[in-house]
Amino acid sequence: MLKSLWRLIYMARRAILLVIFYLLPVTLQRLRLGLERRPHVRDVTEGRLRHAGRNWALLVVWQPDDWPWFLDVLLDALARRGINVLLVANALPEGPVADCILDRCAALMRRDNQGFDFGGFRDGYQHLMTQEDPQRVLFANDSILYYAEGLDCLLARLLPAAGGADVISTFENREYQFHFQSFLFSVSSHVLRSGIVQDYWRRYLLVSNRRWCILRGEIGFSRCLLHAGRSFEVIASGVALAQALLPMDPQELLALRGDATEELRDEWDALQPLVERASVKGPGQQAAQDTLVMEVVALCQKRSPPHCAPFLYARLLGIRVLKRDLVWRDRYSLTELEWSLRRSGLEERLDEVMAGFRRRGRGTQLRGLQRARYDIGVI
């Protein structure tokens, strides 16, 4: 009875917070956006690096203070592959940094950050569709750390020279509603020019709210792509992970718990009986091994994969990108994160990387109204 009462209080509190910090602000923004109709793009400047190919990268960044090393890593890799870059800057340092960036891209668009990353995606998409003739567009942002090792191979799969699936995504997410994770995926011209996609971006409202960007942006755009696309490829798929896990013995599979987030480790430990069955030679050993592999894959996909087990994907599949909010979202402590970075060979700029995680801190340590906003996912 008491447990049910606390559950009811929790749900009522959450509903009130959603009204105050999500529904009301979103409604006011929608009204304002409907009345203003002002452009959010400040200017578009021609860059000094243009390649002959028709593959493009639409890279959205918010870097008001300095230009980080990991974006140079990405731009270098894109240049090696001859990919034209439309860099959409929601915020950018002034002076020499901005001028140097023109040497790294085909065009630089400056805008006012309305709608966050998905606002940048919309304005960048409209520019490419009206001013260029892209064969395929890579959508990318600066929410992840890009590491040089393995990045060329990853981009080769995301941006094939010819052909390829209509939608190629690095990760997919099935935690709440299915969606392609929006920090690194590519889309073919067939889909980009479809009426469904054009209509989606024409109607998309640039609401500056994280929860809106997930529900109407990531999830909404993924639904649109699923309707418009004919074929889909997920590089870090469950099948790809299972194939990498199959050669490992049961104890090795159990030991992978050290690469997972704390919230998954108890469930990982619960696999011990299955590990024991898969370790006993006999007619049922292979079946137990296969079941164990699929249970490990299910755990890695229970939440957002790049948040649950990023180091597993880095070590086993060579996908060496890392979400920059792993500590902020309370997935790893600083100690766990640094240990896993070292174990996984992601030691490039380690001190600088850890300093960034330390500066941002943990969202669970917020207090008052900020903590309430964090709990419902609007920050």
- Tell me the per-residue pLDDT of 343-376, one tens digit each, with 9 for 90 and over: 999 999 999 999 999 999 999 999 998 999 999 8
Q: What is the DSSP string of 51-114?
A: -SSSEEEEEEEE-SS---HHHHHHHHHHHHTT-EEEEEEEE---THHHHHHTTT-SEEEEE--T
| CATH of the domain spanning 41-234, picked from 3.90.340.10, 3.90.170.10, 3.90.550.10, 3.40.50.300 | 3.90.550.10
User: What backbone torsions phi and psi does residue 370 show, to the nearest 5 degrees?
Assistant: -65, -40
**pLDDT for residue 327:** 95
Neighbours of 27 (CB within 10 A): 12
**pLDDT for residue 333:** 92
pLDDT at 212 over 90: yes
**pLDDT for residue 263:** 82
| Confidence band, pLDDT 50/70/90 cuts, at residue 94 | confident
| Confidence band, pLDDT 50/70/90 cuts, at residue 68 | very high
| Residues 23-50, mean pLDDT to the nearest whole number | 89
C-alpha distances in angstroms, 73 versus 123, 144, 146? 24, 12, 6
Q: Indicate the DSSP class of residue 364.
A: G
Sheet of strand 136-141, all strands in order from the earlier edge strand to the far edge:
41-46, 107-111, 84-91, 55-62, 136-141, 184-188, 167-169, 232-234
pLDDT at 169 over 80: yes
pLDDT at 29 over 90: no
**pLDDT for residue 330:** 92
Percent of the chain clearing pLDDT 70 (strictly above): 100
Q: Dig out the tokens for 103 from the structure.
A: 């040497």
pLDDT at 73 over 80: yes
Q: pTM, whole model, 2 decimals?
A: 0.94
| Residues 16-29, mean pLDDT to the nearest whole number | 90
Q: How far apart are CA 202 and CA 313, in angstroms?
A: 36
Q: Give the alpha-carbon dihedral of 347, 351, 352, 356, to 10 degrees.
A: 100
| Confidence band, pLDDT 50/70/90 cuts, at residue 37 | confident
Reported as a single tens digit per residue, the pLDDT across 97-133 is 888 999 999 999 999 999 999 999 999 999 999 999 9
Q: How far apart are CA 113 and CA 119, in angstroms?
A: 7
| Confidence band, pLDDT 50/70/90 cuts, at residue 13 | confident
Q: How far apart are CA 362 and CA 331, in angstroms?
A: 9
- Please give the mean pLDDT across all residues of the chain: 93
Q: Dig out the tokens for 299 from the structure.
A: 């755990």
Residue type, position 132, single letter: E
Percent of the chain clearing pLDDT 90 (strictly above): 74
Q: How far apart are CA 15 and CA 34, in angstroms?
A: 26
Cβ atoms of residues 125 and 201 within 8 Å: yes
**pLDDT for residue 366:** 93
**pLDDT for residue 298:** 93
| Confidence band, pLDDT 50/70/90 cuts, at residue 264 | confident
| Residues 39-68, mean pLDDT to the nearest whole number | 95
